[in-house]
């Protein structure tokens, strides 16, 4: 299987994780950046293995040691994560660093049909509430107490993020595809009007409904995909959550699918009210963070499409680069609209 070197990986997993060969490997659907595999051993035990994408990767991205450190540090906290089991930086084992964690069984709601099939309206409401409560809990952690005080610089988060993602966008242009210059225009506007940061917390960086595993009652039982996590402005997570969240009547969804249109889910305004009540933070300037979220997502997707064009993805070719320019352009236009609302 692409991304898995069974001959060398199997004995390593047997020794360091206690798995019983022979092992089965399955690429979990939905991974569009770091790759996640379900590994099943001869006794039926399941674990998850995370590794970088295959092929082109951006500098400083896909740091497995860093991601393993974050998830391990959060294990004892009120923020639910999978239990980490082992880390390997010896590339002779599987071609790249990787880490292993317990496989959490639950529900990942990626679209409206799945949300309606797997949960009733009461559970969907609980999922909305739990998603906000877990985010508030993450933002309430003492970063020094959990051992992540040196994860990143605490101040100037938005300015650094704007420069970082614009730089990644520059490196992610696809040969033969026209550059979406609106992304550059939004960059200029965001950089010129950065709001004051409300404290410094752990920031997930890609917090959304389908980056969590839910229990049968809708409660978040594991937050997934920590590769963009750092220290900084907590409202960046809230703004991005609003970008991903769809209300009835919305004409478009950031990801093209909208599980939150199913009955029972809270509306964006209710999510904001719950977060503000839990944290005491002022959300009156959230519009800027929503614009930043749309723009950042445009930059991220440009990078995803560039990697797929370069052959990354671990054999999962469900994501095509066809129409990538239109999708990135649409996200940039949503960022422009969000800025217009607060101008």
Domain limits, the chain: 6-102
The pLDDT value recorded for residue 58 is 52
Structure confidence by residue, pLDDT tens digits, 200-249: 999 999 999 999 999 999 999 999 999 999 999 999 999 999 999 999 88
Determine the Cα angle at 180 with ends 175 and 184, to 5°: 120
pLDDT tens, residue order, the chain (343 aa): 989 999 999 999 999 999 999 999 999 864 457 899 999 999 999 999 999 888 655 545 579 999 999 999 999 999 999 999 999 999 999 999 999 999 999 999 999 999 999 999 999 999 999 999 999 999 999 999 999 999 999 999 999 999 999 999 999 988 887 888 999 999 999 999 999 999 999 999 999 999 999 999 999 999 999 999 999 999 999 999 999 999 988 877 777 778 999 999 999 999 999 999 999 999 999 999 999 999 999 998 898 888 777 665 554 444 455 556 788 999 999 999 999 988 6
- 247 within 8 A of 212, measured Cβ to Cβ: no
3-class state of residue 73 by DSSP: helix
What distance in Å separates the CA atoms of residue 173 and residue 198, rounded to the nearest whole number? 34
3-class state of residue 50 by DSSP: strand
**What sections of 145-219 are H helices per DSSP?**
157-171, 181-192
Residue 336: in which H helix or E strand, if any? helix 324-342
Q: Using CA of residue 37, residue 41, residue 47, residue 51, what is the dihedral sign?
A: negative
> Residue 334, Cβ neighbours under 10 Å: how many?
21
Determine the Cα angle at 146 with ends 143 and 149, to 5°: 40
pTM, two decimal places: 0.90
> Residue 1, Cβ neighbours under 10 Å: how many?
12
List, in order, residues 6 or more apart from 74 with CB less than 8 Å away: 81, 141, 146
Structure confidence by residue, pLDDT tens digits, 28-44: 864 457 899 999 999 99
The pLDDT value recorded for residue 30 is 46
What distance in Å separates the CA atoms of residue 240 and residue 293, rounded to the nearest whole number? 5
Determine the Cα angle at 229 with ends 175 and 134, to 5°: 130
Question: Per CATH, which fold does 6-102 belong to?
Answer: Phosphorylase Kinase; domain 1 (3.30.200)
The pLDDT value recorded for residue 176 is 80
The pLDDT value recorded for residue 250 is 85
Structure tokens, 183 = 């992304």
Structure tokens, 328 = 């990135």
**What sections of 218-323 are H helices per DSSP?**
235-244, 268-279, 286-309
Count, residues in the chain: 343
The pLDDT value recorded for residue 316 is 47
């Amino acid at each position: 299987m692409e991304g898995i070197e069974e001959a060398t990986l199997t004995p390593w997993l047997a020794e360091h994780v206690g798995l019983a060969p022979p092992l089965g490997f399955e690429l979990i659907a939905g991974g569009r950046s770091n790759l996640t595999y379900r590994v099943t051993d001869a006794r039926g035990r399941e674990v998850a293995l995370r590794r970088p994408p295959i092929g082109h990767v951006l500098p400083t991205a896909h740091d497995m040691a860093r991601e393993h450190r974050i998830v391990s540090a959060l294990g004892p906290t009120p923020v639910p994560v999978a239990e980490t089991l082992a880390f390997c930086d010896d590339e002779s084992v599987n071609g790249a660093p990787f880490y292993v964690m317990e496989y959490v069984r639950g529900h990942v709601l990626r679209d409206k049909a799945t949300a309606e099939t797997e949960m009733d309206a009461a559970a969907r409401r609980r999922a909305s509430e739990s998603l906000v409560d877990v985010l508030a809990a993450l933002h309430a952690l003492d970063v020094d107490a959990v051992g992540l005080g040196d994860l990143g610089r605490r101040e100037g988060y938005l300015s650094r993020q704007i420069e970082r993602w614009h730089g990644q966008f520059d490196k992610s242009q696809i040969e033969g595809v026209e550059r979406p210059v609106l992304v550059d225009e939004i960059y200029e506007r965001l950089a010129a009007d950065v709001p004051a940061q409300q404290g410094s917390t752990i920031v997930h960086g890609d917090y959304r409904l389908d980056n969590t595993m839910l229990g049968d009652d809708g409660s978040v039982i594991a937050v997934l995909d920590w590769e963009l996590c750092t220290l900084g402005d907590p409202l960046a997570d809230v703004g991005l959550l609003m970008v991903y969240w769809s209300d009835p009547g919305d004409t478009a969804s950031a990801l093209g699918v909208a599980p939150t249109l199913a009955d029972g889910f809270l509306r964006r305004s209710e999510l904001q009210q719950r977060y503000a009540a839990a944290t005491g933070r002022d959300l009156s300037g959230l519009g800027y963070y929503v614009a930043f979220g749309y723009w950042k997502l445009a930059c991220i997707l440009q990078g995803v499409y560039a990697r797929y064009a370069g052959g990354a993805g671990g054999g999962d070719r469900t994501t095509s680069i066809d129409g990538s320019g239109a999708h990135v352009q649409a996200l940039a236009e949503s960022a422009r609209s969000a800025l217009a609302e607060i101008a």
